[in-house]
Amino acid sequence: MTVSCPALLVSAPASNQGKTLITAALARAWRNQGLKIQAFKCGPDFLDPMILQTATGRPVYNLDLAMCGETDIAARLHAAAQQSDLIIVEGVMGLYDGNPSSADIAVKFNLPLALTIDASGMAQTFGALAAGLLSHYPALIPAGVIANRTGSPHHASLLKGSLPSHIAWLGALQKKDELTLPERHLGLFRANEIHDLETRIALAASMLAESASLALPPTVEFNTPVASAIEPLLAGKTIAIAQDEAFCFIYEANLECLRALGATLRFFSPLHDHTLPDADAIWLPGGYPELYLEQISSNQAMHSALHAAWKNGMPMLAECGGMMAVSQAINASPTFGLLPGNSVMQPRFQGLGVQFAELPEGRLHAHTFHYSSFISELEPLSTATTQRGKPGESIYRHGGLTASYLHFYFPSNPRAIASLFS
C-alpha cells in the first residue's frame, strides 16, 4: 500500500552550519501547530537524534544507505508516513559529503530538500551558494533555504532578496548564544545534559515561525516495502542493557529489533547500580566511559557482578565505550577488567565510518567513531572491512564476551543478533 505524507530533508553546505537546531526548531514549530512529527537522522549518529527526540516527543531513527540499507529505510519511512502528519529528516555533514550522501537519500526517496546555510560573513553570495548547491544534482527537489546566524533583520532581508525566484525562503535565525548547542569531542552534548534545551528549541521555533510562513513541505508517496518478518528467536530471554551517562549510544532500531526477536529488555546503570538485573545476556553499548572513570573504578559491586556473569558464561556484547569500560583500564585508570587490554584516549579520532563484520553468527553492518586506541595481546576473532574493502576494526571474543569498537546495527541481521545474545 502506497502512503503519502509531507516530508522534508534538511541539509547544509558543510558540518557545523546548525542543522540539528534548525531541524529541531522546524519540527517544534510544526508540532506547535498540533501536527504529529516523525524525525529521522541521516548517518549513524547517536547524539543528534536525542535533540530531535526532545523537539518531537517521539523516538528518532537513523537513515544510512550503507549501514541500514535501502529496504530498512523504505520500511521506516513507510511506517512513519502511516503514523505521522509530517516527516522531517536531518542530513549528515554537507549535502554531497559521504558516499552515499544526504543528497543520495533525498533523491532515492524523493524527499524535498531544505538547505540551512550559516550566513555569517556573507550577503548576496547567499543566493548564489543556495542556487549552486540545489542545481548541482538536478534530481533534487528544492523546498527552500533557511539562513542561520544572521546579524540583524536587515541582514536577513538581504539574504532573502538574493535568492532566485524559484527558491523559497523558509526563515532565519539570528546569531545568539542561546541559539547554539554545546559540543565535545564526539559531537553535541547529550540532550539531558543541556539544562535549557527546551528553551533553546522553543526560541528557535518561534523565531523561524516569525520569519516565514512555515507552510507544510510537499507531499511524498512512500511505496510499500518488501516484507521481512523477524522470528521470535529470543522469546523467553531477557537482555540487560547498560544505560546511563556513560553508556548512552543506543539505536532505537536496535531496541525494536530485540523486542521483535521476543526479548524482554531491562536497563541498568554500571555507574550507579550495584547489581545486575536478572537476565540471560548483557549489552554494554557505547558512550563516554572516559568521563566517568572514578565512578567506574569505585563501583566494586558492579565489577564483581559483571565478573560473576562472565565466569558463568553469560553472553555479553560490548561496543566501543562498552569495550573500553570492560577493558583493564582507560588512561591507566582501572575499569571493569573483563577484557585483556588497555584503552588510551588520543588527540584525534582513530576510527570513522561504516564497516561490515563477519562473525561466526553471521554478517552485521556497523559504524565506528572513536578517539581512543585499544592495546591487547588477545588475538582478534575477526576483522571488519570498510566500505572500500580495507581492514577495519578488530572484533574480540573472550569467553562469552564479544567486544569491538563497532556499533552494530541489529536490523541488518536479526538472526545473527539472536545468536550473539544466546
The DSSP-derived string for 167-192 is S-EEEEEE--GGGS--EETTEEPPGG
pLDDT of 177 > 90? The answer is no
Q: How many CB atoms lie within 10 A of CB 360?
A: 11
The predicted structure's pLDDT at residue 137: 95
Any idea what the Cα angle at residue 251 is, between residues 245 and 254, rounded to 5°?
120
pLDDT of 127 > 80? The answer is yes
Lowest mean pLDDT among 64-78, 205-219, 240-254, 353-367: 205-219
Lowest mean pLDDT among 47-56, 172-181, 295-304, 322-331: 172-181
Task: Kindly report, residue by residue over 200-227, the tens digit of the pLDDT.
Answer: 999 999 999 988 888 999 999 999 888 7
Question: Are domains 3-222 and 238-420 of this chain identical in fold?
Answer: yes
Could you tell me whether strands 183-184 and 187-188 are parallel, antiparallel, or unpaired per DSSP bridges? Answer: antiparallel
State what percent of residues in the chain have pLDDT above 90. Answer: 89
Interatomic CA distance for residues 8 and 80, integer angstroms: 13
| Element at 134 (helix H, strand E) | helix 125-135
pLDDT of 187 > 90? The answer is no
Supply the mean pLDDT for the chain. Answer: 95
The predicted structure's pLDDT at residue 29: 96
Q: How many CB atoms lie within 10 A of CB 391?
A: 10
Q: Cis check for the bond before 100: say yes or no (omega within 30 of 0).
A: yes
Q: Where along the chain do its domains lie? A: 3-222, 238-420
Q: What is the mean pLDDT of residues 160-173?
A: 95
* Residue 206, amino acid: S
Task: Kindly report, residue by residue over 349-389, the tens digit of the pLDDT.
Answer: 888 899 999 999 999 999 999 899 999 999 999 999 999 99
The predicted structure's pLDDT at residue 1: 81
The predicted structure's pLDDT at residue 354: 96
The predicted structure's pLDDT at residue 211: 86
Per DSSP, the three-state class of 239 is: strand
Which residues make Cβ contacts (< 8 Å) with residue 415, sequence separation at least 6?
231, 233, 361, 362
Q: What is the mean pLDDT of residues 107-124?
A: 96
Task: Kindly report, residue by residue over 26-37, the tens digit of the pLDDT.
Answer: 999 999 999 999
Per DSSP, the three-state class of 116 is: strand
Interatomic CA distance for residues 298 and 191, integer angstroms: 26
Q: Are 235 and 262 in contact (CB under 8 A)?
A: yes
pLDDT of 180 > 90? The answer is no
The predicted structure's pLDDT at residue 86: 98
- CATH number attached to the domain at 3-222: 3.40.50.300
**What cell numbers appear for 366 in the block?**
556497523
- Exposed (0-12), middle (13-18) or buried (19+): which is 90, by Cβ within 10 Å? buried
Interatomic CA distance for residues 225 and 215, integer angstroms: 29
pLDDT of 406 > 90? The answer is yes
Q: Are 105 and 66 in contact (CB under 8 A)?
A: no
Q: How confident is the model at residue 179 (pLDDT cuts 50, 70, 90)?
A: confident
The predicted structure's pLDDT at residue 399: 97
pLDDT of 184 > 90? The answer is no
**What cell numbers appear for 294 in the block?**
572514578
The predicted structure's pLDDT at residue 212: 84
* Closest by Cα among 387, 341, 344, 389 to 368: 387
Could you tell me whether strands 382-386 and 281-284 are parallel, antiparallel, or unpaired per DSSP bridges? Answer: unpaired
| Stated pTM of the model | 0.95
Query: If you ran DSSP here, which 8-state letter would residue 335 be given?
Result: -
Q: Are 31 and 54 in contact (CB under 8 A)?
A: no
Interatomic CA distance for residues 331 and 117, integer angstroms: 39
Write down the catalytic residue from 68, 248, 257, 320: 320
**Domain 238-420 in CATH 3.40.50.880:** yes
| Element at 416 (helix H, strand E) | helix 414-420
pLDDT of 185 > 80? The answer is no
Q: How confident is the model at residue 189 (pLDDT cuts 50, 70, 90)?
A: confident
Instruction: Based on the residue annotation, tell me whether 42 is a catalytic residue of this protein.
Output: no
Per DSSP, the three-state class of 275 is: coil
The predicted structure's pLDDT at residue 178: 80
